[in-house]
Homo-oligomer: A and B are copies of this chain.
Amino acid sequence: MTRALESGPVAGIPFGQPLYKAVKLRITRGLVDGQWRPGAAIPSEARLAQMFQVSVGTVRKAIDELVAEKILLRQQGRGTFVAAHTADRTLFYFFHLVGKDGRKETPATELLSFVRARAEADEAVKLGIGRGDRVYRIRNLLRLSGEPVVIDDIVIPAQLFVDLDERVFGAREGTIYGLYQARYGINVIRIAERLSATLADRSTGALLGVASGTPLLAIARIAYTYHDRPVELRHSLVDTTEHEYLSDLVKT
């Protein structure tokens, strides 16, 4: 088997790409179309090698990258699994607040409002949808140890989350990204965040139980699914009196 894929076993792949990239794309396709669901095991490396007519080493290299991206999880002796949005994973990869003593805690979410609306121009650009397309706007209050700490304003395209409503959102078990994943097949795999400092106005101050003029951490998030497709905007206001935002590049 030569390096380039001039007419290989993996169809629909650009020429000149390494074989393992093609294998990675084939596996990703299986994830996108729901062939292998979150929490479940994908076929064994030997089986995939057989399916794709490549060597096990090549399959391993493809899976290596997906594991590095936290899309797949390997468990020796058990198999390779599609990462699911459990509370633990959310806490580790998608929730960056910790107590000033360093402790991590799962936040309790309280739905403040849920409305149907239309995308503003800048939102449409960031979400890759049309200006004026339908969106849901969701406001949540997050508590840590019972105290209000974060106000989250979420914007998601209605076309991706058909028939989502306040009842479904409120009745979910588990995390918000778990709901996206379980009910709508949308798997958030990466987020990008921009942080700045701002001041609490009267209404947000009231929600967070702080005086207006209190400094707050403002976080603008874009959440992405496979192939860097944006699926959610989220703007957070954080009272950093007792908590901090942790930014730490992971080590091996």
Chain A interface (Cβ < 8 Å from any Cβ of B): 65, 68-69, 93, 96, 98, 190-199, 213, 215-217, 220, 228, 238, 240, 243-249, 251-252
- Given contact pairs A68-B68, A215-B215, A217-B217, A249 touches B190 in the complex (Cβ within 8 A): yes
- Inside 8 A of A199's CB, which chain B residues have their CB? 215
A215 to B216, CA, bound (A): 8
Residue from B193, B198, B240 within 8 A of A196 (CB atoms): B240
Write the chain B residue with the least CB distance to A248. B192
Q: Is the CB of A215 within 8 A of B198?
A: yes
- Inside 8 A of A194's CB, which chain B residues have their CB? 98, 244-247
A244 to B198, CA, bound (A): 11
Residue from B68, B93, B190, B215 within 8 A of A197 (CB atoms): B215
Q: Is the CB of B190 within 8 A of A238?
A: no
Write the chain B residue with the least CB distance to A195. B245
- Inside 8 A of A195's CB, which chain B residues have their CB? 195, 217, 240, 244-245, 247
Q: Is the CB of B190 within 8 A of A216?
A: no
Number of copies: 2
A69 to B192, CA, bound (A): 20
- Inside 8 A of A213's CB, which chain B residues have their CB? 213
User: Given A194-B247, A197-B215, A215-B215, list of 8 further CB < 8 A pairs?
Assistant: A69-B251, A98-B194, A191-B249, A196-B244, A197-B197, A197-B198, A197-B216, A215-B216
Give chain B nearest CB distance to A102 CB in angstroms: 9
A137 to B246, CA, bound (A): 24
A20 to B77, CA, bound (A): 21
Per CB-CB distance, the 8 closest pairs between chain A and chain B, nearest first, are: A196-B240, A197-B215, A195-B245, A194-B244, A197-B197, A192-B248, A215-B215, A197-B217
A178 to B96, CA, bound (A): 30
Interface centre among A194, A197, A213, A215, by most chain B C-beta atoms within 10 angstroms, is A197
